[in-house]
Amino acid sequence: MIGRLSGRLIGKHPPMLLIDVHGVGYEVEAPMSTIFQLPPVGEAIVLETHLVVREDAQLLFGFGTAAEKVLFRALIRISGIGPKVALAILSGVSVDEFWNTVRSGDAARLVKVPGIGKKTAERLLVEMRDKAGGVGGEGLVSMAVPGVAATPLAEARAALEALGYKPAEVQRLTDAAYKEGMSVEQIVQEALKRALR
């Protein structure tokens, strides 16, 4: 199991990162909460990681904090919650906000996350409630053609679609969020805030 990566960030195409570790490039998917905190491309980074091995792929997920990794692992143990949905949850709410949502039983907030319906949200709340007491507050590769730079708006739209949002919803959210000069991370962050209102 690969539990941690320390290297140089050589590519950032939310939700996909490319990290050079002694000449080996690791593709790592990360929640937007982690991506927002990353240094510029070319800088050194350290990520907590979780490796998912399937019949058809080996997927590496990265997190800026141990708390995000712990929550990710707890989420993927719940029936109906896979790694992509767990990433969408971590992209939409912080770890503390998630545990506060569980404690308050606010299923409506979770339903706003792509891939989570009412029944899944309710099951998630029931299964996570026991763990909420001592955890939390307490205790896509770019759609650009290779060699052609995509605009921040296009990359942000690709990132949101990779998180499970429908194209029409992505268009609506990014049109409302985008202002000239914004970075990919800023556009996605603002779009996610609007989606969860």
Average pLDDT over residues 87-105: 89
CATH of domain 4-63: 2.40.50.140
HSE value, Cβ hemisphere, 13 Å, CA-based, for 189: 13
Contact 8, 40 (CB under 8 A): no
Using an 8 Å Cβ cutoff, are 20 and 10 in contact? yes
Q: For the domain covering 77-129, report its CATH number.
A: 1.10.150.20
For residue 62, give Cα distances in angstroms to 56, 123, 131, 139, 177: 20, 26, 22, 22, 26
Q: Locate 108 and state its tokens.
A: 């409506």
Architecture of domain 152-195: Orthogonal Bundle (1.10)
User: In CATH terms, are 4-63 and 152-195 the same topology?
Assistant: no
> Residue 150's pLDDT band (boundaries 50, 70, 90)?
low
Q: Are 57 and 39 in contact (CB under 8 A)?
A: no
Which residues are within 8 A (CB) of 51 and not within 5 positions of it... i.e. 6 or more apart?
1, 2, 58, 59, 60, 61
Whole-number Å distance between alpha carbons of 27 and 133: 34
Q: Using one digit for the tens of pLDDT, what is the confidence trace for 139-149?
A: 322 333 333 34
What's the confidence (pLDDT) of residue 39? 94
Residue 132's pLDDT is: 65
Distance CA 39, CA 189 (A): 16
What mean pLDDT is reported for the chain? 85
* pTM for this entry: 0.70
Q: What is the mean pLDDT of residues 130-145?
A: 42
Q: Quick check: 174 and 192 in contact, CB under 8 A?
A: no
Domain parsing of the chain, residue ranges: 4-63, 77-129, 152-195
